[in-house]
Amino acid sequence: MSQIESQIEMKKFILSGYPFLYIRTDDERPVIETVNKIAKNNHREHHVFTWNNASGLYREDNSDSDITLTTAKGILDYIKNYAGGNAIFILHDFHQFFEQAEMISYLKDTVQNITIPMTTEFLSKRYQNAHNHVYKHIVITSPVQQIPEELNKLVSVVDFGLPGKEEIRALFNEFTKTSSENRFLSEEEKNKIVNACLGLTETEIFNVCSKSMVLNRGKVNYKDINSEKSQIIKKDGTLEFFEPAIGLSDVGGLKNLLGWVKKRKLAYNEEIREKHNLEMPKGLLMTGIQGCGKSHSVKAISNYLEVPLIRMDVGTLMGKWLGESEGNIRRAIRLAENVAPCVLWIDEIDKGIPDPSSSNSHETTKRVFSTLLTWLQEKTSAVFVVATANNINHLPPELMRKGRFDEIFFIDLPTEEERIEILKIHLNKKGFDPAHFSVIDIAKATEGFSGAELQVLIGESMFEAVYQNQSLNSKHLLNEVSKTSPLSVTMKEKIDGIREWATKNNIRPAS
């Protein structure tokens, strides 16, 4: 639910006379702002009070009327007896008292006490008092949804959404009014800042924009905002945040894959997307031979799309308690959507998939996978999912069909031309000029080597050269090749099987 939808929902509940709302929110400030706006409604004006356990009760529309009332029972008594007119009482983090059975009963009694029945026929003697003509509302704000069974039928829940693009743009414009450096930002730069701020609360947006302005002499940079999102990921713990330092130029070969990604970047330009009615891409699945660049490509794709990269390891989401695993996957999905636009890397998705050939597949694993599949099919958020898989023998048809991913790519062992490219990339990274090496001869000699094996080859050769007190040259590399048995030799049958599977299932080659 977007923030605008949340605000509309709250307005409907309060103006309809609902006495008890539970607002799940990570930022109390916009909730208070929303309630203050609703309270000024000409149809039925309200006084607004806020309360927390630390500093007590405060009347928002009268700065001189703070009341030192810090006990939970005390505030509920105050609400019951309040006769000063229509009022909305915002109780911050009141869920912390739900461990006390007595407090749950007291809150239930208070809600029933302030509820105005539709007719006097529904009025019980217990709750008949002089204030039944006064509309009073209890609004609990909490970062978690934690509702006791006793209150379940009395409460209405609103999941208060994060600011959308319109709200963020308005916040940014307001925030940068006094900053001449930000007035001259291009529309493209502003759009990147707005997109980067998606998934942040209002408070987080103000904080990160302030930090970015300090770092950039008064100017906001969207890259600072993307980096700040790492804090959201780290605090939650279900996903892992990456800041890749590699681009598409650091990927050797895989021309089909990289060309496909370059076309999808068009959708990240809002003007182009709306003009040509393009859809945000869902993502892709990469499968194939180990060590041939799947993980490397994910990092390069994130860098190229200029969005944060977050990694999901399905195995680590599996908990030991009943319902814990399902809750973890839902929380991880929600977190990914909160920091969108982003790239969500589902690493080795095959490990989290129940093997259909095995009768021992755990029901929890099946439910987790079902939740993930449903989300992949139905998601509309700007989460570009890149899943990688090594063990392709039991990838189920429901994962492979169109709709979960936009495309599935098979990554094979690099060709001779690709090996030349990979060798040049890794030699450059190590500070060597590829022109001083017989790269073509080395590429011919390394037929059947994966990209990872070529990288290791250079590393091993460097140790040998240093040990001999020599500068690295082609001789060292070719000598190391003669000592190395690549995966394509040691696991020939398995690799032949993988290639056969890709051909049989008509998987699109990445090269």
Domain boundary among 411, 444, 459: 411
Q: Last residue of some domain: 353, 388, 411? A: 411
My answer on whether 263 and 390 are in the same domain is yes
Given phi > 0 = left and psi -120 to 50 = alpha, else beta, which region is 25? beta
d(CA 60, CA 274): 42
Is the backbone peptide bond immediately before 341 cis, with ω within 30 degrees of 0?
A: yes
Q: What is the pLDDT of residue 362?
A: 65
Its domain, for residue 215, covers: 165-229
- Helix, coil or strand: residue 223: helix
Beta bridge partners of 88: 48, 137
Check whether residue 110 and residue 29 sit in a common domain: yes
Residue 76 backbone phi and psi in degrees, to 5: -70, -40
User: Where residue 481 sits, what CATH number does that domain have?
Assistant: 1.10.8.60
Q: Cα dihedral angle (465, 468, 474, 479), rounded to 10 degrees?
A: -100
Residue 148 lies in a domain: yes
506 part of a folded domain: no
CATH code of residue 140: 3.40.50.300
| Through-space distance between the first and last CA atoms of the chain, rounded to whole angstroms | 41
Residue after which a domain boundary falls, among 358, 376, 411: 411
Q: What tokens appear for 95 in the block?
A: 């869920």
Do 80 and 41 form a contact (C-beta atoms < 8 A)? no
91 DSSP assignment: E
pLDDT at position 402 is 78
- Report yes or no: 422 and 457 within 8 Å, Cβ to Cβ: no
Question: What does the pLDDT read at residue 140?
Answer: 97
Task: Say if residue 35 is in the same domain as residue 82.
Answer: yes
Residues 278 and 301 in one domain: yes
Is residue 204, in this structure, part of any structural domain at all?
yes
Is 503 among the domain residues? no
- Same structural domain for residues 272 and 402? yes
Pair 442, 362 in one domain: no
- For the chain (511 residues), the mean pLDDT of every run of 10, in chain order, is 88 93 93 93 86 90 68 93 92 94 94 77 58 83 91 94 86 76 78 84 88 86 82 80 87 93 91 90 92 92 91 74 70 85 89 58 74 89 91 74 88 94 95 95 94 94 95 95 90 89 88 87
Estimate the crossing angle of helix 324-338 against helix 363-378, to 10 degrees: 20
For residue 157, what are the contacts with CB-CB under 8 A and spacing of at least 6? Answer: 21, 22, 23, 24, 145, 147
Q: Look at residues 374, 384, 364 and name the one whose alpha carbon lies nearest to residue 317.
A: 364
Same domain, 149 and 175: no
The C-alpha angle 145, 380, 188, rounded to 5 degrees, equals 110
Question: 3-state SS of 360-417?
Answer: CCCHHHHHHHHHHHHHHHHCCCCEEEEEEECCCCCCCHHHHCECCECEEEEECCCCHH
Q: In this structure, are 405 and 429 located in the same domain?
A: no
What is the reported pLDDT for 360?
Answer: 47
Is 403 in the same domain as 479?
Answer: no
Strands in 87-92's sheet, in edge-to-edge order, are: 56-59, 47-52, 87-92, 136-142, 20-24, 156-159
Indicate if 255 and 214 belong to the same structural domain: no
Using the 8-state DSSP alphabet, how is residue 59 labeled?
E
**Which among 59, 56, 65, 4 has a CA at the least distance from the CA of 34?**
4
* Position 355 in a domain: yes
In angstroms, the CA 6 to CA 111 distance is 22
Count the domains in the chain. Answer: 4
The reply to whether 32 falls in a domain is yes
Residue 131: phi and psi, rounded to 5, are: -110, 20
Q: Are 46 and 137 in contact (CB under 8 A)?
A: yes
Confidence (pLDDT) at 132: 58
Residues 399 and 436 occupy one common structural domain: no
Which of 58, 68, 74 is CA-nearest to residue 106?
74
Residue 421 lies in a domain: yes
Is the domain of 288 the same as that of 386? yes
Would the pTM count as exceeding 0.75? no
How high is the pLDDT of residue 130? 47
Looking up tokens 């991880």 gives 332
Q: Is residue 434 part of a domain?
A: yes
